[in-house]
Structure 1
Amino acid sequence: MPKTPHDPLYYHARRAVLHANDTGISHLQRRLRIGYQHAIDLRHALRGDVLEHQADTDTWHIRAEADRHTDFLLEEKLAQAARLIGSAKALVIAAGAGMGIDSGLPDFRGDEGFLRAYPALGRQGLCFQTIASPPAFEQVPLTAWGFYGHRLNLYRATAPHAGFGVLHAWDQRMAQGCFVFTSNVDGHFQKAGFPTARVHECHGSIHRLQCTAHCSGEIWPTADLHPQVDEAACQWQGELPHCPRCGALARPNVLMFDDWHWNATRSQQQRMLLDMWLDSTTAPLVIEIGAGRAVPTVRNFTRRMQQRGSALVRINLREASIHNPDAIEIALGAREALERIQQHLAADI
């Protein structure tokens, strides 16, 4: 545990050392924009916390047992994020699967999370990548639709958590508006009040269907689809959804694994609206929430936004690089982080 610092740059120096694995004085000078003596004093202050000094060789090393997991700058980051939101004219919300966990939606992280949610599929030897793929609709259509039918019912029945409301309030205060970029297919941003024309679902939506035979390229809503699923067996009950044009089996308009036949028309139209909006704004603030590295679609998007000049606030309970000095990375769940940022924002008003 670090000693109580007297220098206000102590934790910033700590972060700089751990992020770059560089104990050099010149590194601290460049990173913190301080003088030589100040950098020497900070390095000595870090001794016994993250640094150790070998007197016989006069060398400095990062301690193997140094605490790399506690974010001593968390409150400062939350306050900084609030200041960015308070001064922003435009906002991009980039959300991955972690956004929905606080609403009670299942976490498919790794095989364990998937099998907890769908033990019947585990008993059949089916993993997430197998059931969430086009061949499943050919080989085991009742099971494939049992999985997606259950998910459709779940997403319809689940209320978006309070963090969505916080984001919607921030949307309302932006002079140039807000746009959502999400890999989630649950439709919860629209359910929380975000305009459909301001949401880009890059992996499609479970609330839309397409034909497995690709007869016309049509995409249609699931409004009239009311799944009856034997949840214990993960099996669809009754007549399977079919294409209204040709009668072939229908499938969700969702980008699956190894999916060469996903109809991306609707998603491409949404992307066109996003690009038009981005062309009309100047470096909108980006808030990335619950987007991991395993399927990096959202992270790749936010990286491109950074290259365009946008500031980034990243919220991720498990995959935040809390020592990254080039972004505000907050290792909290979505709801807690958003509500705590809002508390700082309200205090500043």
Structure 2
Amino acid sequence: MFLKKPISASIKICWEQQVERLKNEIETSDAIVVGAGAGMSAAAGMDYDGERFEKNFSDFHKKYGIQDMYSGGFYPYETPEEYWAWWSRHILINRYEAGAGKPYGNLLELIRKKDYFVITTNVDHQFQLAGIDKKRLFYTQGDYGLWQCSKPCHQRTYDNEMEIRQMAARQKDMKIPAELVPHCPVCGAPMTMNLRIDTAFVQDEGWYAAAERYEDFIRRHMGRHVLFLELGVGSNTPGIIKYPFWRMTAENPKAVYACVNSGETLCPPEIARQSICIRGDIRQVLEDIAQKD
């Protein structure tokens, strides 16, 4: 559909004008569809490398040369006890001990009185922690707080908070006790994270219900003044948020596409007149909008 090379609108209009335009669209739109990626949590300080990584995983870095939390999740650990030592720490600090990041709270304050829906590829539960209505949220790629059968032999997920806290508390020398290694209650196979990393990802009843609510929201607002607000979405999985937002904007002359990102802020030339592209810190942009009269 979009044959030409995407352009950056941010080079044409200054920061202040773009922020003012975005503020106006948030206030005047009939509905807001928020699409959030990893950049949103990065803006909240949920860094997966650097000081935060070294503080929590220096032993794994020393033994295996792992450089960040993302790559550590794919490492072929020698034993399941070590695998779950890694993951229990990872989940504890990124899901159960992390409070709601400020950008998430700022976003909620801006949209809480609007008719809104959030679709996200993030798995860290930050939207729920900030107070976003779960019925207005579709977390497409899973949740750190859920396990599934690794086969998978059935399409169900399981809450893991109690088990994760036990693993984190009782691990020693980068291993958890063998009796804490989780197994599927149906077939006995090892449990694994409910994260979309391969074709074994379980889409349970909650996933399908959220997908249906999202599709219904989009359907009910077709042809209306809709703001598609993209926050921190990269190019790893553009088919989930970015490309659909572009397409829906192109199909609706009343729609507006807004992209806020510290990196790429692109839009196809076909929707340039309907787009707001701001290259900068998401946290700062949301704060600036909130502070404007």
- How far 1:169 moved relative to its partner? 2.2
Which residue is equivalent to 1:335? 283
Which residue is equivalent to 1:144? 83
- Residues 83 and 294 of structure 1: CA distance in aligned 2, closer, same or farther (over 3 Å): same
Q: Given residue 220 of structure 2, which amino acid in structure 1 is its aligned partner?
A: S
- Residues 337 and 240 of structure 1: CA distance in aligned 2, closer, same or farther (over 3 Å): same
TM-score, normalised on structure 1?
0.67
Residue 287 in 1 paired to residue 229 in 2? Answer: yes
Question: What is the Cα-based RMSD across aligned positions, in Å?
Answer: 3.4
Q: Summarize deviations over 1:281-325 as a string: whole Å, max 9, x none.
A: 234211111111133233233223323423111110122249974
Q: Given residue 144 of structure 2, which amino acid in structure 1 is its aligned partner?
A: I
1:299 aligned to which of 225, 242, 250: 242
Which residue is equivalent to 1:240? 181
- Residues 131 and 190 of structure 1: CA distance in aligned 2, closer, same or farther (over 3 Å): same
Q: Summarize deviations over 1:205-255 as a string: whole Å, max 9, x none.
A: 11111011323322111232215349x999342221222333332111111
Greater length-normalized contact order (CA 8 Å, ≥ 6 residues apart) = 2
The 8 Å contact of residues 150 and 190 in structure 2, kept in 1 or not, is answered as yes
Separation of aligned partners in 1, 2:257 and 2:51: 29
The secondary structure found in structure 1 opposite 2:162 is coil
Moved more, 82-91 or 259-268: 259-268
1:316 aligned to which of 246, 257, 261: 261
Unaligned runs of 5+ in 2: 1-6
**Superposition misfits of 4+ residues, deviation over 3 angstroms:** 68-72, 112-119, 125-133, 227-230, 232-236, 321-326
Question: Which of these two proteins has the greater Rg computed from alpha carbons?
Answer: 1
Residue 217 in 1 paired to residue 155 in 2? Answer: yes
Moved more, 93-102 or 209-218: 209-218
Residue 182 in 1 paired to residue 120 in 2? Answer: yes
Separation of aligned partners in 1, 2:249 and 2:230: 11
> How many matched pairs?
271
The 8 Å contact of residues 233 and 261 in structure 2, kept in 1 or not, is answered as yes
Separation of aligned partners in 2, 1:288 and 1:233: 42
Separation of aligned partners in 1, 2:103 and 2:176: 35
The secondary structure found in structure 1 opposite 2:20 is helix
The secondary structure found in structure 2 opposite 1:228 is helix
Separation of aligned partners in 2, 1:153 and 1:129: 15
Unaligned runs of 5+ in 1: 1-18, 21-67
Aligned-residue identity in percent:
20
Moved more, 147-156 or 316-325: 316-325
The 8 Å contact of residues 117 and 214 in structure 2, kept in 1 or not, is answered as yes
The secondary structure found in structure 2 opposite 1:173 is coil
TM-score, normalised on structure 2?
0.79
